[in-house]
Structure 1
Amino acid sequence: MHGIKRTRITPQAAEAKRLKEQGKIEAYLALEQDVLSRKRSKDYTTESLEQTTKLLDLNPEFYTIWNFRRNILLSLFPSLSPEEVVFYLKSDLKLTTSYLLVHPKVYWIWNHRIWCLKSVPTNPDGTKQWKEEFWKGELKLVEKMLDADSRNFHAWDYRRYVLSSLPTQKPLSDELKYTKSKIESNFSNFSAWHCRTKTLLSIWEKEKTSEDKIRKTKDEEFDLVTQALWTDPADQSGWLYHRWLIGSEPPIEVLNREIKNIKDLHEAEPDSKWCMNALAHYTLLSAKYSITSEGDQQKLKEEAKGYYQRLEQVDLDRKERYRDMGKFTSK
């Protein structure tokens, strides 16, 4: 690269480097063979547990070893006191935390944390103090993970799981505030938008919300997502949330209002494929649900067809898809 001084490695240094790497590979393979041998012989000892730690330190994506580790712990737990079980579980959570800092999107690490949480025993006095502490700690951890990477969908999925499992449930309204804060700091956060859909649906189901109140809430959500669309019309996240709000059978006045708003954006962004995608789809919905004459419906279909034809030119990689979508305008 320009500006970087090249250094020549001597043959002796190159050979030393090769031998060092070869030594690491041989040591890893020997450790792997030892752990797999212990697994086959069902050697569920603390020594085997230590060996799995060494191997996972080198390769935390080795899901077979995570399974073996859980079997070892399950074998050890019956002979331990509840306090000792808690000690082992805390150690494993600490271990996986160190792995997640480097490998935040490895399924097997997140899965092992879930297993640890499910394995927390009840306190000897019959209370759930330990469980409460463990779950609250997880919520703090996942918030730190999302502060580091607000779009980590593994962390978002885990957050939903933790919230649903808390012994003392948090108000769903708190989660709405949390997702809104993440969205407003980064409108392209698809996971936050997705979590918001799940939270709203849970609230509506739990509170048996009336259709009028749902519609009022959606109007407020349209205001939020419109900010995202105007801020970055090229980002898909807001458009997907907008389509979720519209649904499959929207009130025609809401549909027409949103079509007008998107047309205003399209005037400012004439080459935005997401604008045209939305206008084509919503115009076809309008043709389907508007109480208009057959001639007016045909005009709307022709308008939608025009958007698809324009998309064929703007988004060449999906040309055939738009051509197929355009055929629906003839039905």
Structure 2
Amino acid sequence: MASHGLPRPATTTQRTEEELKEEQRQIQEYRDLEDLIRTKIAERQYTVEVLQLTSKLLKKNPEYYTIWNVRRRLLIHGFFSKPSDSSSLSKELPNTSTTATIKASSTDLSSSPSNTTATATTIPHNPASRNHGSNGTTLDLIRADLEFLFPIMLSYPKCYWVWNYRLWLLQQANQRLEPDIARELWSGELKLVSKMLVKDSRNFHGWGYRRKVVSELESAALHGKSMTEAEFEYTTKMITSPKGLSNFSAFHRRSKLIPKLLDERGADDQARRLFLEEEFDMIFSAMYTDSYPYAQSAWFYYQFLMTTLTDPVGHAIITPDFTPEERVEFVIRQLADLVEMLDGAEDNKWIYNALIEYTLDLSQMEERQPRLDEKQDCKLWLAELRKLDPLRNGRWDDLELFLEDVPLRPRDI
């Protein structure tokens, strides 16, 4: 099994008796650790010791979302304290800085959880204790915990709970720190997620995280401004990179940026028409240049562009003021380009599918039934689709019915 082309190591090898015993020992250690954390949290021991215990458990199992919630409670009620409440933490660790305290929590305890004593001072439950200062322990705690998360993210880049917890930390920065300092943390996140998307450019968790980071950096609360142009250029870079045509997330992000981009540019009808032409040229050029007209994600983006012309209601986000005649003209040109692309790519089902769909759309845009020559072409393309994609014979049967004047739109099938 592989994930985005990255092979996973086999886990079904035969194990020795010693390995099985070691596995049982690790299971018991895990259960002891889990029980110890539950006991201490039930007693409201919001201490450095318990923070270290959560670090040890989360490095073993970052999918354990309850422990992430425990860690949130530890920080809120035990460490994000008012200056007047910080004395209890200082007495607990008289020779240790706050940053070092949290960094220490990312290392495994040398002793077994069953042998760990509960001698640390318990910090009382105090939901009101918060530090809204721009420096000091709160900033150090957030930075150190972000560092703790980094190796876990590298090992488990698709774990929802790691991403969610990281966002929570940064939202705490928004609430507790000065805007300029919080903005520095979010700016660092943008660099981090960019590096992670270089490692796996199709990680939809990373793309979703990037959208959130950009949204925060654009917000008035952080003295932000629009990043639409830069983000649009970023999608261009990712799409035109090696294997970029298979990047669903980059195409999706691009489609969502387009309306905002054109509005911010104050684009008139001529500029919007030119933009649409450039997008069609970009997708066709990428397919031809990379010899990659088989990328499903690229065809989905092409379909998105075409819906801005063919759909009668609510989808004209690029050229809202196009006349019906201008839309028809565009569709006719695209059909000609698709026929040209078919030369040399006769085994590409996506081209046949697009030719049928937009030929039938064209007839509906012109408020007429398909002409005899259009029906004949569609039947020929449909015959090729049956050969190339026999698993969708039900869909092809419905398309054939449509060609016999059944009143359905092709995408309604």
Q: Match for residue 206 of structure 2?
A: 155
Flag the 1:115–1:326 CA change in 2: closer, same or farther, 3 A. farther
1:93 to 118, 121, 146: 146
* Structure 2 alignment gaps of length 5 or more: 1-14, 87-130, 311-326, 408-413
Q: How much does 1:134 deviate? A: 0.2
Higher relative contact order structure (alpha carbons within 8 Å, sequence separation ≥ 6): 2
2:387 to 313, 322, 331: 313
- Residue 135 in structure 1 maps to residue 186 in structure 2: yes
Q: Match for residue 183 of structure 1?
A: 239
Contact 2:360 2:370 in 1 (8 A): no
Matches within 5 A, 1:1-331: 14-76=16-78, 77-79=80-82, 80=86, 81=131, 82=133, 83-120=136-173, 127-166=178-217, 167=222, 168-185=224-241, 186-207=244-265, 209-230=267-288, 231-247=291-307, 249-250=309-310, 251-290=327-366, 294=369, 296=371, 299-329=373-403, 330=405, 331=407
How far apart in 2 are the matches of 1:307 and 1:22?
60
How far apart in 1 are the matches of 2:73 and 2:174?
17
How far apart in 1 are the matches of 2:17 and 2:345?
59
Percent of residue pairs bearing the same amino acid type: 34
Flag the 1:41–1:288 CA change in 2: closer, same or farther, 3 A. farther
CA RMSD of aligned residues (A): 2.3
1:146-193 CA-to-partner distances (Å, cap 9, x unmatched) read 111111111111111111111323532112221111111122222111
1:215-248 CA-to-partner distances (Å, cap 9, x unmatched) read 2111101111002333211111111111111115
Report the secondary structure of 1:192's partner residue: helix
Contact 1:86 1:120 in 2 (8 A): yes
Divergent runs of 4+, >6 A: none
Report the secondary structure of 2:16's partner residue: helix
Matched AA of 1:98: P
How far apart in 2 are the matches of 1:134 and 1:215?
40
Contact 2:239 2:250 in 1 (8 A): yes
Report the secondary structure of 2:252's partner residue: helix
Flag the 1:110–1:247 CA change in 2: closer, same or farther, 3 A. same
* Structure 1 alignment gaps of length 5 or more: 1-12
Q: How much does 1:45 deviate? A: 3.1
How far apart in 2 are the matches of 1:260 and 1:243?
16
Report the secondary structure of 1:247's partner residue: helix
Report the secondary structure of 1:142's partner residue: helix
Mean alpha-carbon deviation: is it higher for 149-158 or for 217-226? 149-158
Report the secondary structure of 1:257's partner residue: helix
Q: How much does 1:39 deviate? A: 4.3
Contact 1:123 1:129 in 2 (8 A): no
Matched AA of 1:110: W
How far apart in 2 are the matches of 1:119 and 1:229?
44
Flag the 1:323–1:116 CA change in 2: closer, same or farther, 3 A. same
Matched AA of 1:29: R
Contact 1:123 1:130 in 2 (8 A): no
Q: How much does 1:101 deviate? A: 0.8
Q: How much does 1:110 deviate? A: 0.8
Report the secondary structure of 2:245's partner residue: coil
How far apart in 1 are the matches of 2:215 and 2:259?
14
Flag the 1:121–1:202 CA change in 2: closer, same or farther, 3 A. closer
Contact 1:255 1:286 in 2 (8 A): yes
Between Structure 1 and Structure 2, the one with more helix by share is: 1
How far apart in 2 are the matches of 1:154 and 1:203?
24
Q: Match for residue 113 of structure 2?
A: none
Contact 2:338 2:351 in 1 (8 A): yes
Q: How much does 1:301 deviate? A: 4.5
How far apart in 2 are the matches of 1:295 and 1:131?
60
Aligned residues: 315
Contact 1:283 1:303 in 2 (8 A): no
Flag the 1:38–1:302 CA change in 2: closer, same or farther, 3 A. farther
Report the secondary structure of 2:201's partner residue: coil
How far apart in 2 are the matches of 1:89 and 1:123?
10
Matched AA of 1:255: V
How far apart in 2 are the matches of 1:308 and 1:44?
67
Matched AA of 1:223: D
If the length of structure 1 is used for normalisation, what is the TM-score? Answer: 0.87
Q: How much does 1:40 deviate? A: 4.7
